[in-house]
Amino acid sequence: MKSANAKKFRSELKDYMDAAVGEPVRISRRDGQSFVLMSEQVYEGFRNEIQSLQRRLLGMSEILDGKTYPLSKSEDRTARFKKSK
């Protein structure tokens, strides 16, 4: 990950934005705070992955809490996803 301090980041903003297309850029302040600049595409990928993991965790917690029921062999597993007419 490329890094820069805030002053250098401001003076070379275009270059750092171009670099952020390929990989995130860490921007550090003098007080120790850090920020990350990344492309919107990478950000959306992270958001989608987090949402996917949250759904899995919710499903696993439902299993552990006993909120599930066994399906019979003849039951359609995809029925809940189909639109009712």
- What residue has token string 């297309």? 21
**Backbone phi, then psi, for 31, in 5-degree steps?**
-80, 0
Phi-psi region of 25 (alpha: psi -120 to 50; beta: other; left: phi over 0): beta
CA atoms of 8 and 23, how far apart (whole Å)? 18
Domain ranges of the chain: 2-64
**0.75 exceeded by the pTM?**
no
Confidence band of 85 (pLDDT split at 50, 70, 90): low
Cα angle 44, 46, 49 (rounded to 5 degrees) comes to 110
User: Has residue 69 got a pLDDT over 80?
Assistant: no
Q: Is 70 helix (H, G, I), strand (E, B) or coil?
A: coil
Fold assignment, 2-64: YefM-like fold (3.40.1620)
pLDDT digits (tens, 9 = 90+) for 27-58: 999 999 999 999 999 999 999 999 999 999 98
